[in-house]
Amino acid sequence: MIESWRWFGPRDPISLTDIRQTGATGIVTALHDLPNGAVWPEADISARRDMIEAAGLKWLVTESIPVHEDIKTGAPGWEHKARNWARSAVALARQGVATICYNFMPVLDWTRTDLAYELEDGATALRFEYAAYAAFDLFILQREGAEACYSADEIAAARARFQAMSPAERDRLTANILAGLPGSEESYTPDSFRERLGSYRDVGREDLFRNLQNFLDFVLPEVEAAGGVLALHPDDPPRSLFGLPRIVSTQADLERIAAMHASRAHGFTLCTGSLGAHPDNDIPALVDLLADRIHFLHLRATRREDDPRSFHEDAHLAGDLDMVAVIRAVRRLERQAGKVLPMRPDHGHRILNDLTGTSTPGYPAIGRLRGLAELRGVACAVDALGTAGAQ
């Protein structure tokens, strides 16, 4: 695995110099200042690449080129948006940034209800609390038809959760869900969010699968010809939110999507946290199943709570995930496929000076450094013992 680090560009409070000191050699980034749907100028790509290389690092993965909502809904003119997406991807590949992580989550990207959930040791983590999410949907957003998505008991629990919140807590929950977390494609107000949800009124799971297929048919030949590979990120959380379809959540979803194209340029980002939040997903088995369709790794762990739809980010070697088994499977994949995968320690707890310093939610310096060191240690141990002998 190539140790890499998510960097949000020159405005990121964690500098390239800081990243160099972590031991990571790869950078995962994007041109975050460009609007969704814009073509990325090749000159801007090369300038960002040169900036990274001047710091002694290499831009390995683009995360991500946002997929416009018109593409996901199949709205009239979606082909123009897809053409722009393909032009950006081709420009990246020509500049030596071949791997493109993207997602196909409708409206919202990754979603959390709490960005500073306090753990027993005083660290803080990201959390998705189902009752708080339902309280927002039912009683703050007041989404039309939302009641049909919940049982009577769930509505009662959501009402109690809502009534227990202060006005400031309700505002904070709204901001956490709608303002856009790092790397998100969009941010919304409640009114604009309701409007965007309305554009999916006639889009179901089968429609979304079809629109993904159409998108891939449109962009994949050009990207592959330029030497690029596409790495689709799973849904986070891996289940429907706000009545929207989600299609990249389970093993069955991944197998169906893999079958859309035989090309090995069509593949996945294996995000152990996103997939691990679904109790039916066996992550080491998924590594073996998807094999050389995996082009990029997000390694982190989540811990499901009493309500298994709720979870929080745990330490990288804790939670509901057997990270040792995952890394063993990755080493088998790399050996058999004859390639080395870029990996980044995904998310991290705010610990030590992270708690008083400035960092992007989910992406503190010291918390991720701890995760990277732990993952590095597991990889070294697996290599020393031998992948086969460690079974």
What is the reported pLDDT for 187?
Answer: 78
- In this structure, are 226 and 334 located in the same domain? yes
What is the reported pLDDT for 389?
Answer: 47
Residue for token digits 């982190």?
300
- From 175, 193, 211, give the residue that closes a domain: 193
What is the reported pLDDT for 181?
Answer: 62
Phi, psi at 24, each rounded to 5°: -65, 145
What is the reported pLDDT for 183?
Answer: 60
Is there a domain that residue 276 lies in?
yes
Is there a domain that residue 370 lies in?
yes
Q: Which residues are catalytic?
A: 233, 271, 298, 346-347, 363
For 376, the domain range is 2-111+194-385
What is the reported pLDDT for 33?
Answer: 87
Partners of 134 in the beta sheet?
A: none
Half-sphere exposure for 275 (CA within 13 Å, toward CB): 27
List pLDDT tens digits, range 132-175. Answer: 999 999 999 999 999 999 999 999 999 999 999 999 999 999 99
Amino acid at 279: P
Partners of 268 in the beta sheet?
A: 232, 294
Q: Quote the pTM value.
A: 0.95
Residues in the chain, pLDDT under 70: 180-185, 387-391
- In this structure, are 64 and 213 located in the same domain? yes
What is the reported pLDDT for 387?
Answer: 47
Say if CB 58 and CB 5 are below 8 A apart. Answer: no
- In this structure, are 276 and 182 located in the same domain? no
